[in-house]
Chain A
Amino acid sequence: MEITDMSNPNIYIPYQMRIEKITPEAPGVKTFRLKFIDEQDAAAFTFKAGQFGEYSIFGVGESTFCIASSPTRKGYIECTFRQVGKVTSALASAEEGDIVGFRGPYGNTFPIDEWKGKNLLFIAGGIALPPMRCVIWNCLDLRENFKDITIIYGARSVDDLVYKQELEEWKNRPDVKLVTTVDPGGETPDWKGEIGFVPYVVEKVAPSAENTIAIVCGPPVMIKFTFPVLEKLEFAPGNIYTTLENRMKCGFGKCGRCNVGELYVCKDGPVFSYEQLKLLPEEY
């Protein structure tokens, strides 16, 4: 007799989301605000800062992005992506009102509860601000839980800075210190921020390591140069967090492709502490 066990949902079937709003951020970079088409899905959905999902255009394929909006804001999720390949090109051609598939939330989360009462230093580069934006807003929405908050963000050029609107908001908040930088040569004549690569700027303006958690996100090369700077500034590796990216497909630890050593970025990450990373090979 055939057995068909329906107790588990089909883990490959995505939620259907409608694109509510598209915001162009930078050349080739867009932000989508997505709403669940099914209201029951919307009501039941929860996630935590640091998690990601698989976003898809039906018939084209799936792509991995973090959830860039904060879990404190209900009713929608946001993602930001750069057009680089087949799926992101199809996403980039989508219009408000179109349907996008979303599988998630996957991955582990930033241990925000452990950071209560501490200073926070967020460091991000280029297109890696989206995963940080989620945790930044999460912390800002719970502002009273934390002491000083500093954000250092850099991109290749002024045009490449994403979330320009948000950067203005953060700049104008008295309870946040924002430092923006562009790579040498990327500045415009009226640029008032720093000029220099992110690791260099971190060394220059970072607050004291005492009672401070550092959260870093950027392309592999930026992360690799920022960690030594933070160590030099006496940040303990256990107090430095990052979120890794790797080639992902399934998002739930079965397709075998995203592992860094024995840990899967999709299941045991994407959030890792520098202490953890030191024990892993550089396979990311």
Chain B
Amino acid sequence: MNELIKKAASLLEANEVQVVIGYGLVSTKRPQVIFVTTPADCEQLMFDSRCIQNLAVYLTKEEVKKLGKPAIIAPLPVLRSIVQLAAENQLTEADLVVLGIDPDGKSVEFGSLEAIESFLSDHKIVIEEKYLKKIEEIRNMPVSERFSYWVELLEPCFKCYACRAACPLCYCNRCTVENNQPQWIPVASHPQGNLEWHVMRAMHLAGRCTDCEACYHACPLGIPIHLLNKCLLQDLSENFGDYGPKATKPNMLSSFDPNDKESFIW
């Protein structure tokens, strides 16, 4: 981490970046997201297993972009999000400096998106065994049971939209739920409203989600909403190939390849 702190400080010193987005232990044992703007304050940066927020969400936020060019502390989930954001034209290489951290905690410097992609190809997305088991279990349920399963799982949800807020790929200026002509998704958090919200969000993320689990960690009620995303991730990888993200390859569900499977259509 010291290496990263030194690097961050020198970037700020040379005014190559104007802000470093990272994690800090500000006042409690729970890491917070911090925005460091002076070299001296880089001492506050830290990283350990408690740092679960996906910082890439701040790369598309106006209040942060106003500060200038950022350097961003980037553990694996953040790296994946950065590549996906680039694939969707939300940022370019020149917009930021990536201060990577590998799964062993060592700092890795990336000069280009290509370099990040190549690094990520050695750290592919893997859905954990316990989730694969659950996905299989759900697949084997008859439709009505599966429907009840999801409705019950989502029952405590009160639509705070923390999942949306924490997801780096939910960057729409006006979310679908914020439209009322027509009101596509009801505002109230009744079973129908909850289901429609989570299913819609999962569908909008299908093929783009990088399994960072930020949505799950953001949920104040601890609802495993990421299970829905993982189900879709698994479906997509089985039908269309690898789990994401690639800066140069178009999104799975917004592109067509003549070799795509069609077995599920007829």
Contact = CB atoms under 8 A, between A and B. Distances in A.
Direct contact of A and B (CB under 8 A): yes
Contacts of B183: 86
B212 to A, nearest CB: 33
Interface residues of A, number: 4
Interface string B1-13: 0000000000000
Interface residues of B, number: 3
Interface string B144-183: 0000000000000000000000000000000000001101
A174 interface: no
A89 interface: yes
B155 to A, nearest CB: 26
A61 B182 CA distance: 12
Nearest to A61: B180
A9 interface: no
The residue among A61, A85, A86, A89 with the most chain B CB atoms within 10 A of its own CB is A86
B193 to A, nearest CB: 16
Q: Is the interface of B mostly helix, strand, loop or mixed?
A: loop
Contacts of B180: 61, 85-86
A185 B181 CA distance: 33
Contacts of A86: 180-181, 183
A86 B183 CA distance: 9
Contacts of B181: 85-86, 89
Interface string A81-104: 000011001000000000000000
Contacts of A61: 180
A89 B180 CA distance: 12
A281 to B, nearest CB: 19
A139 B183 CA distance: 43
A166 B183 CA distance: 38
A61 B180 CA distance: 10
Interface string A115-143: 00000000000000000000000000000
Nearest to B180: A86
A89 B181 CA distance: 10
A61 B186 CA distance: 13
Nearest to A89: B181
Contacts of A89: 181
A49 B173 CA distance: 40
B154 to A, nearest CB: 25
Interface of B: 180-181, 183
The 3 closest A-B pairs by CB, nearest first: A86-B180, A86-B181, A85-B181
7 contacts: A61-B180, A85-B180, A85-B181, A86-B180, A86-B181, A86-B183, A89-B181
